[in-house]
């Protein structure tokens, strides 16, 4: 499935495109260090490769690949064709593998996070790499006086299983023992993350609004929904931004997702009516051309099990040369499960160095 | 719709009562970087024509236009026909700073290029709305006449600015300097869009002292810190110029943009301009 998808998009891009101009190539590299890991302290590093361009006057294609700095294979993050100005009635369409329009944070690539890592609560529902699935999504501007967009998507794999389908198919296609090992390892990790069986087919919806209050104040509101096999998610998000000039801004952003669980979560039995609620709230202040500072509160709870956790952290960013390189620091509490209801709390310091070549940049203020 | 206020002002003059013109960037914004807001897409959705600056200055415009899902909007690059300055040759890359592959894109800061923009706007409006073609043509003729007259007056009134040495913060002004005879001797940015470094500031201070340079001029959106630091170490005067219509209050039209900037410079140099 994965190979067909990538092949199809590349074929379309390079065969039917009405130009001989090369697409844009960008590379974003990063290096993350934290003090919790013993030897060595370099935790992860890798690159994201972006290939972007117009297929024709009405559609564009975006392909994102990620390669960790280890023996793991190159991962396809997204390979999507977007029809933006080719459909009637203000319709837009995305088809391929991409991050569905579910909540605010799911569509963001990790290098855009001022707080370096995915909020732990959000990862409990969306996964460490967030939900990226193969499918089709349409969206439309609603005829309201402000910007109001409604999107509806159908996907071949749900949140609980978004990595499984590709691996299974790849295993069918190849029969290499090493591949099996890598994939089995990865699947095992995913099971740890999610603790649920593979599920197929899912729908997502989102209704988002944007209000330009005046030249310097903007407000975004969104409601999201997801339905997969025996699981539902509801979400709401909010973002306020004050930007009096290019080098000063204040962003307040918060998002909550509630996931109706089945009978098991993280390999533990839970009540059939159990709900996992996750949320984060962020304040980010850019106080001059190069520096920003902020606070992140990361929260999750299992309602009926009366189990919850919260990780506050502060973060700092330094971007010396516009958007081409960023140094980030985060100091925060990391809560880890010791036993059923006890959580061990550690102070975790994380440093990230991130750089870019080409037009796809590591952050946006 | 237009990317910048300069093209918007010209489009309002040429279009008159038959057009409604909105600019995405405000006059006091850096046109290189405009945050893409969904509300801009909604505005472009209703547009018949979008006039871009081009030459990769307003790269953000394409994303706004695409996001508008407006299938019918005509996209016009106003830089077509401009005699481009500082077109780089040979290999270019990010080590040279934020360099523009197709030349310096601040061409609207030469009033002669304002006439070329106006002709482009008039041509597209006439093609799109032929029933008001006579009106657009008449407005163009009048605008060119007004601008010619203003250029002739500026050339005489501000002739004392000719051959004056000047340091700019960013390289936005080659078209302006060429038209009015200013000699650009340095920039505060070591390379385009790179923040002035201490060594660069020190180098500029030495140059001001040795060459007797009188004025540092910067765009309205840049911080005052570097120019004021240099002024504190030398006798140089620092001024802010309007890089676009609306960047400074008195620069409220395309013609007043030049009147404002030339007056600010004449006062800074202490030369007569009446």
Over residues B131-160, the pLDDT tens digits come to 999 999 999 999 999 999 999 999 999 999
Cβ neighbours of B94 (radius 10 Å): 14
Task: Check pLDDT > 50 for residue A194.
Answer: no
Q: Which residues of chain A neighbour B246 with C-beta distances below 8 Å?
A: none
Task: Check pLDDT > 70 for residue A14.
Answer: no
Q: What values do phi and psi take at A92, rounded to 5? A: -120, 155
Which of B26, B65, B66 is opposite residue A215, by nearest beta carbon?
Answer: B26
Q: Do A245 and B35 touch (CB under 8 A)?
A: no
Which of A246, A359, A364 is opposite residue B30, by nearest beta carbon?
Answer: A246
Task: Check pLDDT > 70 for residue B202.
Answer: yes
N- to C-terminal Cα distance for chain B? 37
- Write down the pLDDT at residue A177: 39
Least confident of A61-75, A169-183, A294-308, B10-24: A169-183
Write the ipTM: 0.86
Q: Do A84 and B37 touch (CB under 8 A)?
A: no
Q: How far is B111 from chain A (nearest CA, A)?
A: 27
Residue B92: burial class (beta carbons within 10 Å; 0-12, 13-18, 19+):
exposed
- Write down the pLDDT at residue A365: 41
A192-208 burial, b at 16+ Cβ within 10 Å, e below that, comes to ebbebebbeebbbbbbb
Q: Do B193 and A322 touch (CB under 8 A)?
A: yes
A112-139 burial, b at 16+ Cβ within 10 Å, e below that, comes to ebbbbbbbbbbbbbbbebbbbbbbebbb
Task: Check pLDDT > 70 for residue A193.
Answer: no
Task: Check pLDDT > 60 for residue A38.
Answer: no
Q: Do A218 and B195 touch (CB under 8 A)?
A: no
Cβ atoms A153, A204 nearer than 8 A? yes
Query: Scanning every residue of chain B, which has its alpha carbon at the shortest distance from the alpha carbon of A142?
Result: B42
Task: Check pLDDT > 80 for residue A192.
Answer: no
Q: Which one is predicted more confidently, A173 or A210?
A: A210
Which of A246, A289, A364 is opposite residue B29, by nearest beta carbon?
Answer: A246
Q: Do B221 and A92 touch (CB under 8 A)?
A: no
Would you place residue A317 in the very low, low, confident or very high pLDDT band (cuts 50, 70, 90)?
Answer: very high
Q: What is the mean pLDDT of residues A188-208?
A: 65
Q: What is the mean pLDDT of residues B114-120?
A: 97
Dist. CA B200–CA B244, nearest whole Å: 27
Q: Which residues of chain B neighbour A365 with C-beta distances below 8 Å?
A: 35
B2 contact partners, CB below 8 Å, separation of at least 6: B8, B11, B21, B22, B23, B24, B50, B51, B52
Q: Which residues of chain B neighbour A84 with C-beta distances below 8 Å?
A: 66-67, 69
Q: How far is B252 from chain A (nearest CA, A)?
A: 18
Cβ neighbours of B234 (radius 10 Å): 18
Best of B42, B50, B93 to disrupt the A interface (most A CBs within 10 Å) is B42
Q: Which residues of chain A neighbour B194 with C-beta distances below 8 Å?
A: 321
Q: How far is A294 from chain B (nearest CA, A)?
A: 20
Q: Which residues pair with A153 in a beta bridge?
A: A137, A204
- Write down the pLDDT at residue A169: 38
Cβ neighbours of B21 (radius 10 Å): 20
- B5-15 vs B133-157: helix axis angle to the nearest 10? 130
- Write down the pLDDT at residue A15: 55
Cβ atoms B165, B211 nearer than 8 A? yes
Task: Check pLDDT > 90 for residue B103.
Answer: yes
Would you place residue B165 in the very low, low, confident or very high pLDDT band (cuts 50, 70, 90)?
Answer: very high
Task: Check pLDDT > 70 for residue A4.
Answer: no
Q: Determine what percent of chain A is predicted with pLDDT higher than 70.
A: 73
- Write down the pLDDT at residue A159: 82
Q: Do B70 and A149 touch (CB under 8 A)?
A: no
- Identify the DSSP state of B2: B
B142: which 2 tokens?
């009048």
- Write down the pLDDT at residue A6: 53
Q: Do B71 and A141 touch (CB under 8 A)?
A: no
Task: Check pLDDT > 70 for residue B221.
Answer: yes
Q: Do B66 and A60 touch (CB under 8 A)?
A: yes
Best of A85, A151, A324 to disrupt the B interface (most B CBs within 10 Å) is A85
pTM, 2 dp: 0.84
B77-87 burial, b at 16+ Cβ within 10 Å, e below that, comes to bbbeebebeee
Cβ atoms B40, A147 nearer than 8 A? no
Query: Scanning every residue of chain A, which has its alpha carbon at the shortest distance from the alpha carbon of B69?
Result: A85
- Mean pLDDT for all residues in chain A: 80
Cβ atoms B73, B47 nearer than 8 A? yes
Q: Which residues of chain B neighbour A85 with C-beta distances below 8 Å?
A: 65-66, 68-71
**Residue A272 Cα to chain centre, angstroms:** 28
Q: What is the mean pLDDT of residues A280-302?
A: 93
Task: Check pLDDT > 90 for residue B9.
Answer: yes
Would you place residue B27 in the very low, low, confident or very high pLDDT band (cuts 50, 70, 90)?
Answer: very high
Q: How far is A183 from chain B (nearest CA, A)?
A: 37
Q: Do A210 and B71 touch (CB under 8 A)?
A: no
């Amino acid at each position: 499935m994965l190979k067909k998808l990538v092949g199809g998009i590349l074929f379309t891009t390079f065969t039917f495109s009405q130009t001989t101009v090369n697409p844009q190539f960008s590379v974003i590299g990063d290096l993350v260090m934290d003090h919790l890991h013993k030897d060595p302290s370099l935790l992860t590093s890798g690159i994201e490769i972006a290939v972007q361009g117009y297929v024709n006057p009405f559609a564009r294609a975006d392909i994102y690949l990620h390669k960790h700095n280890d023996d793991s294979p190159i991962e396809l993050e997204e390979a999507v064709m977007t029809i933006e100005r080719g459909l009637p009635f203000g319709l837009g369409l995305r088809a391929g593998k991409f991050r569905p329009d579910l909540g605010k944070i799911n569509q963001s690539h990790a290098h855009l996070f001022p707080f370096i890592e995915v909020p732990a609560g959000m990862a409990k529902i969306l996964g460490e790499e967030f939900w990226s699935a193969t499918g089709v999504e349409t969206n439309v501007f609603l005829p309201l006086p402000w910007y109001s967009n409604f999107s509806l998507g159908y996907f071949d794999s749900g949140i609980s299983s978004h990595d499984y389908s590709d691996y299974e198919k790849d295993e069918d296609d190849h029969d290499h023992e090493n591949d099996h090992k890598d994939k089995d390892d990865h699947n095992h990790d995913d099971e740890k993350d999610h603790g649920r069986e593979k599920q197929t087919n899912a729908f997502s919806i989102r209704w988002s609004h944007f209000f330009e209050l005046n030249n310097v104040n903007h407000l975004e509101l969104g409601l999201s929904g997801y339905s997969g096999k025996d699981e539902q998610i509801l979400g709401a998000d909010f973002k306020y931004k004050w930007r009096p000039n290019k080098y000063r801004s204040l962003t307040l952003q918060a998002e909550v997702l509630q996931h109706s669980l089945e009978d098991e979560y993280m390999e533990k039995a839970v009540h059939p009516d159990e709900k996992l609620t996750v949320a984060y709230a962020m304040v980010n202040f850019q106080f001059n051309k190069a520096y920003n500072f902020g606070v992140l509160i990361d929260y999750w709870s299992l309602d009926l099990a009366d189990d919850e956790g919260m990780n506050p952290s502060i973060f700092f960013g330094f971007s010396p040369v516009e958007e081409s390189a960023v140094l980030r620091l985060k100091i925060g509490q990391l809560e880890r499960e010791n036993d059923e209801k006890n959580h061990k709390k550690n102070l975790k310091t994380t440093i990230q160095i991130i750089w870019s070549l080409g037009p796809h940049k590591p952050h946006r203020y | 719709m237009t990317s910048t206020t300069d093209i918007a002002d010209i489009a309002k003059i040429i279009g008159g009562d038959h057009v409604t013109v909105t600019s995405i960037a405000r006059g006091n914004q850096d046109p290189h970087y405009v945050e893409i807001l969904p509300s801009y897409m909604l505005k472009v959705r209703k547009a018949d024509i979008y006039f871009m600056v081009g030459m990769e200055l307003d790269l953000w415009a394409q994303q706004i236009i695409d996001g508008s899902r407006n299938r019918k909007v005509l996209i016009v690059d106003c830089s077509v026909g401009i005699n481009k300055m500082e077109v780089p040759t040979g290999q270019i890359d990010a080590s040279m700073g934020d360099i523009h592959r197709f030349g310096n894109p601040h061409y609207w800061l030469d009033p002669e290029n304002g006439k070329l923009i106006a002709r482009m706007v008039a041509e597209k409006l006439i093609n799109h709305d032929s029933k008001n073609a006579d009106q657009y043509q008449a407005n163009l003729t009048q605008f060119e006449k007004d601008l010619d007259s203003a250029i002739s007056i500026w050339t005489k009134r501000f002739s004392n600015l000719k051959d004056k040495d000047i340091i700019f913060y960013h390289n936005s002004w080659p078209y302006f300097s060429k038209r009015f005879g200013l000699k650009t001797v340095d920039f505060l940015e070591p390379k385009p869009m790179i923040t002035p470094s201490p060594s660069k500031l020190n180098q500029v201070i030495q140059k001001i002292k040795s060459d007797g340079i009188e004025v540092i001029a910067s765009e309205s959106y840049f911080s005052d810190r570097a120019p004021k630091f240099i002024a504190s170490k030398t006798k140089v005067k620092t001024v802010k110029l309007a890089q676009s219509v609306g960047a400074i209050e008195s620069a409220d039209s395309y013609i007043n943009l030049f009147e404002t900037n030339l007056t600010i410079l004449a006062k800074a140099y202490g030369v007569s301009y009446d």
